[in-house]
Chain A
Amino acid sequence: MQQTMEPFGEGFITTFAPEFVLVIGLFTLMIAPNLGDGKFRLPLSQIRVPYLFGGRRGKLDSDPRLPGLFASFFFITAFGMALLSFVDGMNTTTVQVVDADNNVTNLLKVDEFSRTFELIFYGALALASVASINRLPATSRNDRTNAGLYNNRRQVDFYILLITCGLGMSIVALAQDLFLLFIGLELASFSTYVLVSFMKETKEGTEAGMKYFIVGSVASGVGLYGLSLLYTWAGSLQFEALTNAFITSGMEPLPLVALSMLLVGFGFKVSAAPFHFAAPDAYAGATGPVAGVLATASKAMGVLGLLRILIIVAAPEATDGAAVWLVALGVLAAVTMTWGNLAALGSTNPKRMLAYSSVAHAGYMLAAITAIGALNWEPAHMTESNNAALAIVTALVFHLVVLVCFKLGAFLVLSLLESEQGGHTLASLGGLAKREPMLAVTMFIFMLSLAGVPPLSGFMSKFLVIMGIVKAALIGSTVDGTIVFSELHWVWWLAFLMVINSAISVFYYLRVGLVMFFHEPEEGRRTSLPPGRSVRVAIVVCLVATVFFGVGANGLIALCESAANALLNVW
């Protein structure tokens, strides 16, 4: 069902219930820890009116775990509400402003595509938030001194940043206007910059956050410049307007330069080479859950932006067969996946290793987008191309969803090691199988899934992506039912490179297993790990999802297919 509405018009709040839940969460987090028995004395009287703000805090609201619990609750509620909107079919809703001259400006759009991405964001953030409850150093709940209060405030800051991050990401998912999209992107990015350097006591944390911020702002600056060029050229940043402009005059220099600059901005977000340099530093400096969010939700946001710009705005069908960005993106994909895998081979810090593996995954996703650019839109191949595009976008969304399960899960396992000052060297994983067999098996399953071993979800996502690319490359290459090799589109080689790269990656993923199962524990790490119940709960959720989405992938594939349909319907 299609509908349009004014901002804050009828049904606005129910439509955007998940986002409003987060806004409520934001205010709750700001207010709740400050509630106390603060009183206000009416002037010239002895009457003290309690206004419940400031003063001595109660027992409950000075509990340092309170913000974490609140944030987790709001994230899970938002996730549930987003999921709920799929039940009984999705109402596709466009929020638009109509001015006096009847010019329509689209702002936000709720459909399967944006909601699926919101599920990814909220899911990842909810897991990170749950995992952080016992993880941030916190003083005991009985300590009501100033130090305790101070610490309590810090907890609040962390979760407030997580929530603003979530809000920014939702705006990216919903935006129908490039400018709005960029604002959401920056909101989320700024939150992550601070989150990375949140552990300001450690040198790595501050340094990593600083570097991430500097490189990130340069990339954003370049992207913003590209945006302004686009505006100069088209006079609007509305997706529809830009699409039409590309159809009429997409080959002019101005939009091409603007497009490449936008690619830089989003390339940084998905950590594509050579814009990825800050990522390993940032992941290594941040706490496990935050690094996990960077590698999953933040990356999904970048991919979302790329899909909007490359597929919808710089629409391939507008530019005679091959898209303008085809070669550039193909090169970017090839370089990124190879660079990521080769760099990961030698990493001895598991977090850096996962960061590089995340770069490699970015390469796989870029390869998939490249394949969409290579589709042949002549009438003879229209249906095939439509199917292939659907397959590829489905595979991409699927990949992003399941990435939350195992990549975030792996970071959470490392975060458990961090609580005993480990997790920064591969050796600190040594003998994990003897110390905590179940945890080691879980980590190993995450690694296998990252490597793409059936029947885990990592296999399925890689399989879908490769099949999608091959399907795209095959179009127009068959003569009388047999495939003519020389007629294959060159994006086929990206799939081939992806297979080679997957083979390389198995080496460093399995090395983690080797260390866990066959190496002796480091000195001083012989007993089991600190408890951290909430982290373990989050890890179990990740594990179950990793296995479940591999074995019973059908439901998720259907969901992703509906999301892909919603995106591609615009054509």
Chain B
Amino acid sequence: MAGSGSSEIVHSTAAQYAPWILLLPMLAFPIILYLGKALNGNKMWKDTLKEGGLIALGFMGASLVLSLWLVVDFIGAYGGTEMLSDWTWFTSSMWADGDNAVSTVSFGFGIHIDHITVMLLFIASFLCLLINTFAIGYMNTDPINDNRNHRFYAEFVLFCSGMLGMVLADSFLWLFIFWELMGLCSYLLIGFYYERPSAAYAAKKAFLTTRVGDVFLMVGLAILWDLFGSLDYAVVFDSHNIEAVANNSAGTLAWALGLMFIGAVGKSAQFPLHVWLPDAMEGPTPVSALIHAATMVNAGLYLVARMFPFFGHEAMHGELADLAFIIAAIGGTTAVMAAAIAFVQHDLKKVLAYSTMSQLAYIFTGLGAALYLANTLHWHKYLPDGTTNPEYYVNHGIVIVAFGAALFHLFNHAMAKGMLFMASGAVIHEVHHAHHHLHHHDDDHGHSDPEELVMLAKYLNDNDQTVYEFFKSIDLDGSGDIDMFEFQKALTASQIANLPPWEMTALVKAVDLNGDGRLNLPELDLALGRIISDLDHGHHDEFDAQSMENMGGLASKMPITATAMLVGSLSIMGFPLIGGFWSKEGIIANTWRVALEDPRFFYPALCVLLGAGMTGFYMSRMWLKTFAGSPKGEVAAHVHPTNTWIKIPLFTLTFFSLGGVILASMGFTHWAPDIEYGLMSDHGGFIGGFLYEMEHVFANSKPFFFILTYIAIFIGAIVGPGIALSLYGGALDEGETVKPWFTPVLALNAAVKGRYHWDNSALAGSGFATALSNRLYFDHYYDMAMLKIVAAFSNKAAEADASVIDGTVKTIERTSQDISTKLRALTTGSARDYILMAAVGTLALVGLIWGVVA
């Protein structure tokens, strides 16, 4: 897409089937929802179909097969030319104006496929399938989800179809529609445990915060529509159209793109709209893995990447450099800020959440740098005046590699972060199980108490009433035992529930031990007393299965998970030769390249360099606290390996993260943004590509970049992890055996910690650390602003709404109903009256026709 705009467009068979990639999950949504309702609790549904998990898996699998077919077709048969397929809702020549009867108006949905689409399509469909597999192992074994997993799977597939649709759409309008569909599903999934106030709050927060960005996006799109008269990629990316717009209203276009970028900031959780992402960890872990790491947050990046043709067009030369700087600066700020907050998190998933924010910020910085280069360099074959560009080859390479590095990092991060989240889910899952196993194996009845009884117990607890007093107050006839009717009255009086008779029977049965159909004091005391004592002693305990303070030494107990986590962490850190390294180095190098041109860019450039070290620290800290050292507490010592459904995706993704070097050697960074570049073509195949990449990264011929690379490696892979090694972890307990590849890591850890360990309590207790653990008070100030300004305004608006708008609507409604009654009263039911009315009508018609003519 970055090449000339006149590339040939192909209609291939694979593209014809492309709409099914998103339609299949969309179809699965009602199917799973309906079957889940119909078969809820059914044994076959639960065990064989995994409450819809396998149905979802089937549909996602089919979707992935179609995606892969499309990808292969795209790379192989069509050598990377853009493909299109459209499905027209309706076309009509009837509205064509004037003499031009052949022109048609058409409405519909189209598929647009280019390099970026293909890359994200693969990420989305592949990860969705793996996370679906993971979810079967995670969700279906958690007793808290009893019989409601079909809701999870239904919302999950709908979400996937939103992501796939957004990637495939051929216009900004459809992109926006699917974008909002994802927003909705994200809300539903974060609030999956809606009975927890924190989850409900997090869901609302995520929805509203991203909505702030969406409003700007919508305005941006409206401006764009005003400029181009369409939101179809085919129109807005058309070279001549951009030229026309650039000549007349380049500034307006910059504003439109800027506003759209704010939408991306919200979706990808960047400063200052980042506050929702950590809270979103309230959702089940597969949701965190899917939405907040692998797919949805990429939507914002995708949107910015889609803007590339505007930046890269010669006609816009230099006009958008400021916007590119803003993108990079926001990215740089977020990268450092999120990494700093990640230092002090104890919650495993929260560390990953901040890490996600920080890594996305890297990509934004990389995109900002690439967009800046594209906007300020003459990198097209021909200069605006039509002469051949002498610097074409060099500049073209610079722009392409910068853009490619950002896209490649997107790919690497999605793979690694999806895996990290799933691995963390596996850890949490097993820690939780171990805890449950240790403390709860004898009293599992806590879950079987009828809800009304729990509410009644709470009611008594809150009102300081003893069971005896309560019993006396409801035993109306003083007979010493109460019957169902009295009990029902009492429940109604205390505003707990007004149950129908059949449910009352069930409730009484749960308490009635001697089976006489009536309740006496001992029975009630026994049932309520147990619940009350559970409430008093915090039976629903405060043990936090997500806290790293309760882990440690898990490397020997969960080898596959630990390996996955290690590889994922190394990839995120940018450890040489592993996954993220190839892209992160590119981002850092290109940001510095821009900084040499434009001093403003020193800010993001320093940020990403510093961030590399910080990433090294917090990722190492996370791994060491979780997997190295001796187990902190009894629970961590009793953790078992996880189940197969969870292992499969971890295993798969470990190889994908390790295999970053393969993709890099194939020339991914060149291929992803450039239409003229084939995979494995320009540097002499795979080996040549490998050598080219190695040479560029490790032995760059330009001294500046040569030194920069080694500084980055030193900071990111030695200083950051080194500090973490000296502070956390340590050798495992005696007698624990580990896989051979952990031995050097743990030995190094033990050695460094033994030699250089230092006391960081002063730092940890400092005001800055407190501020960090309070997330730099962003939430606090946002809440205050909301309360002071928005809430006050809302109250006024609500008043106005009630009196003016509702009043008007109600008046209209009442008046219409009155008229309706009067009109229907004319329908007397007597044929004579009907004929009379017909006669009146006839006279009126004669009068009207004759009268008008005469």
Residues of A whose CB lies within 8 Å of any CB of B are 210-211, 214-215, 218-219, 222, 251, 253, 256-257, 259-261, 263-264, 267-268, 273-275, 277-278, 280-281, 324-328, 331-332, 339, 342-347, 383-384, 387, 390-391, 394, 437, 455, 460, 464, 467-468, 471, 504, 507, 551-554, 557, 561
Task: Collect the chain A residues with CB atoms within 8 Å of residue B734's CB.
Answer: none
- Inter-chain CA distance A259–B831, complex, in Å, is 25
B849 and A342 contact, CB distance less than 8 A: no
Interface string of B821-854 (1 = CB under 8 A from A): 1011011010101110110111011101110111
Chain A residue nearest in CB terms to B843 = A260
- Neighbour of A328 across the interface among B99, B826, B848, B854, CB < 8 A: B848
A339 and B834 contact, CB distance less than 8 A: no
Contact A267-B94, Cβ < 8 Å, known A345-B816, A346-B817 = no
Task: Collect the chain A residues with CB atoms within 8 Å of residue B92's CB.
Answer: 557
- Inter-chain CA distance A386–B841, complex, in Å, is 32
The 7 closest A-B pairs by CB, nearest first: A346-B820, A328-B848, A391-B94, A277-B834, A345-B820, A260-B845, A274-B841
Interface string of B609-627 (1 = CB under 8 A from A): 0000000000000000000
A275 and B838 contact, CB distance less than 8 A: yes
- Inter-chain CA distance A275–B827, complex, in Å, is 11
A264 and B95 contact, CB distance less than 8 A: no
- Inter-chain CA distance A331–B847, complex, in Å, is 12
A383 and B98 contact, CB distance less than 8 A: yes
A261 and B853 contact, CB distance less than 8 A: no
Contact A257-B823, Cβ < 8 Å, known A274-B837, A383-B98 = no
Interface string of B77-116 (1 = CB under 8 A from A): 0000000000011111011111101000000000000000
A387 and B845 contact, CB distance less than 8 A: no
Task: Collect the chain B residues with CB atoms within 8 Å of residue A325's CB.
Answer: 849
- Neighbour of A342 across the interface among B816, B844, B852, CB < 8 A: B816
Chain B residue nearest in CB terms to A555 = B90
Chain B residue nearest in CB terms to A392 = B94
Chain B residue nearest in CB terms to A275 = B838
Chain B residue nearest in CB terms to A468 = B94
- Neighbour of A275 across the interface among B821, B841, B850, B853, CB < 8 A: B841
Contact A554-B90, Cβ < 8 Å, known A324-B849, A347-B824, A471-B95 = yes
- Inter-chain CA distance A531–B14, complex, in Å, is 44
- Inter-chain CA distance A158–B455, complex, in Å, is 61
Q: Shortest distance in angstroms between A351's beta carbon and chain B's nearest beta carbon?
A: 13
Task: Collect the chain A residues with CB atoms within 8 Å of residue B823's CB.
Answer: 339, 342-343
Contact A328-B849, Cβ < 8 Å, known A219-B838, A280-B827 = yes
Task: Collect the chain B residues with CB atoms within 8 Å of residue A342's CB.
Answer: 816, 819-820, 823
Task: Collect the chain B residues with CB atoms within 8 Å of residue A219's CB.
Answer: 838
A260 and B850 contact, CB distance less than 8 A: yes
B848 and A331 contact, CB distance less than 8 A: yes
Within 8 A of A (CB), among B764-818: 813, 816-817
Task: Collect the chain A residues with CB atoms within 8 Å of residue B842's CB.
Answer: 222, 260-261, 264
B853 and A256 contact, CB distance less than 8 A: yes
- Inter-chain CA distance A281–B827, complex, in Å, is 9
- Neighbour of B97 across the interface among A278, A384, A552, CB < 8 A: A384
A211 and B831 contact, CB distance less than 8 A: yes
- Inter-chain CA distance A140–B96, complex, in Å, is 59
A455 and B98 contact, CB distance less than 8 A: no
B91 and A267 contact, CB distance less than 8 A: no
- Inter-chain CA distance A387–B846, complex, in Å, is 31
- Inter-chain CA distance A571–B842, complex, in Å, is 29
Task: Collect the chain B residues with CB atoms within 8 Å of residue A264's CB.
Answer: 838, 841-842, 845
User: By DSSP majority rule, is chain A's interface helix, strand, loop, or mixed?
Assistant: helix
A251 and B95 contact, CB distance less than 8 A: no
Chain A residue nearest in CB terms to B848 = A328
What are 24 contact pairs spanning A and B, CB under 8 A? A215-B831, A215-B835, A253-B854, A256-B846, A257-B846, A259-B849, A260-B846, A264-B838, A264-B841, A264-B845, A277-B834, A278-B831, A280-B827, A328-B852, A343-B827, A391-B94, A437-B34, A437-B37, A467-B94, A471-B94, A551-B89, A552-B89, A553-B90, A557-B90
Within 8 A of A (CB), among B317-364: none
Starting from the known contacts A332-B845, A561-B94, 8 additional A-B residue pairs (CB-CB under 8 Å) come to: A215-B831, A256-B849, A264-B845, A267-B845, A274-B837, A277-B833, A347-B824, A553-B89
Q: Shortest distance in angstroms between B692's beta carbon and chain A's nearest beta carbon?
A: 50
- Which of B96, B821, B835, B845 has the most CB atoms of chain A within a 10 A radius of its CB? B845
Q: Shortest distance in angstroms between A477's beta carbon and chain B's nearest beta carbon?
A: 12
Task: Collect the chain A residues with CB atoms within 8 Å of residue B827's CB.
Answer: 277, 280-281, 343
Task: Collect the chain A residues with CB atoms within 8 Å of residue B841's CB.
Answer: 264, 267, 273-275
Chain B residue nearest in CB terms to A215 = B834
- Neighbour of A257 across the interface among B95, B850, B852, CB < 8 A: B850
A390 and B94 contact, CB distance less than 8 A: yes
Q: Shortest distance in angstroms between A465's beta carbon and chain B's nearest beta carbon?
A: 12
- Inter-chain CA distance A391–B95, complex, in Å, is 7
- Inter-chain CA distance A333–B420, complex, in Å, is 66
Chain A residue nearest in CB terms to B816 = A345
Task: Collect the chain A residues with CB atoms within 8 Å of residue B835's CB.
Answer: 214-215, 218
Q: Shortest distance in angstroms between A311's beta carbon and chain B's nearest beta carbon?
A: 16
Within 8 A of A (CB), among B575-597: none
B838 and A268 contact, CB distance less than 8 A: yes
Task: Collect the chain B residues with CB atoms within 8 Å of residue A214's CB.
Answer: 831, 834-835
Contact A253-B850, Cβ < 8 Å, known A383-B101, A554-B90 = yes
- Inter-chain CA distance A95–B841, complex, in Å, is 37
- Inter-chain CA distance A92–B17, complex, in Å, is 39
Task: Collect the chain A residues with CB atoms within 8 Å of residue B95's CB.
Answer: 391, 467, 471
Task: Collect the chain B residues with CB atoms within 8 Å of residue A455's CB.
Answer: 89
Task: Collect the chain A residues with CB atoms within 8 Å of residue B833's CB.
Answer: 277
- Neighbour of A251 across the interface among B837, B840, B853, CB < 8 A: B853
Task: Collect the chain B residues with CB atoms within 8 Å of residue A390's CB.
Answer: 94
Q: Shortest distance in angstroms between A319's beta carbon and chain B's nearest beta carbon?
A: 8
- Inter-chain CA distance A211–B846, complex, in Å, is 25
Task: Collect the chain A residues with CB atoms within 8 Å of residue B37's CB.
Answer: 437
Chain B residue nearest in CB terms to A504 = B816
Task: Collect the chain A residues with CB atoms within 8 Å of residue B837's CB.
Answer: 274-275, 277
- Inter-chain CA distance A547–B315, complex, in Å, is 46
Task: Collect the chain B residues with CB atoms within 8 Å of residue A277's CB.
Answer: 826-827, 833-834, 837-838
Task: Collect the chain B residues with CB atoms within 8 Å of residue A210's CB.
Answer: 831
- Which of A257, A343, A504 has the most CB atoms of chain B within a 10 A radius of its CB? A343
Task: Collect the chain A residues with CB atoms within 8 Å of residue B846's CB.
Answer: 256-257, 260-261
Task: Collect the chain A residues with CB atoms within 8 Å of residue B94's CB.
Answer: 387, 390-391, 394, 464, 467-468, 471, 561
Q: Shortest distance in angstroms between A478's beta carbon and chain B's nearest beta carbon?
A: 9
- Inter-chain CA distance A345–B827, complex, in Å, is 14
Chain A residue nearest in CB terms to B92 = A557
Q: Shortest distance in angstroms between A57's beta carbon and chain B's nearest beta carbon?
A: 40
- Neighbour of B824 across the interface among A251, A324, A343, CB < 8 A: A343
- Inter-chain CA distance A557–B834, complex, in Å, is 38
Chain B residue nearest in CB terms to A391 = B94
B824 and A346 contact, CB distance less than 8 A: yes
B817 and A263 contact, CB distance less than 8 A: no
Contact A274-B838, Cβ < 8 Å, known A327-B848, A345-B816, A554-B90 = yes
Chain B residue nearest in CB terms to A252 = B853
Within 8 A of A (CB), among B2-34: 34
- Inter-chain CA distance A211–B838, complex, in Å, is 13
Chain A residue nearest in CB terms to B837 = A274
Chain A residue nearest in CB terms to B841 = A274
Task: Collect the chain B residues with CB atoms within 8 Å of residue A278's CB.
Answer: 831, 834
- Inter-chain CA distance A466–B630, complex, in Å, is 75
- Inter-chain CA distance A103–B852, complex, in Å, is 36
Q: Shortest distance in angstroms between B106's beta carbon and chain A's nearest beta carbon?
A: 9
- Inter-chain CA distance A214–B836, complex, in Å, is 12
Task: Collect the chain B residues with CB atoms within 8 Å of residue A460's CB.
Answer: 90
- Inter-chain CA distance A557–B841, complex, in Å, is 35
- Neighbour of A554 across the interface among B91, B824, B850, B852, CB < 8 A: B91
- Inter-chain CA distance A210–B831, complex, in Å, is 9
Task: Collect the chain A residues with CB atoms within 8 Å of residue B826's CB.
Answer: 277
- Inter-chain CA distance A19–B813, complex, in Å, is 49
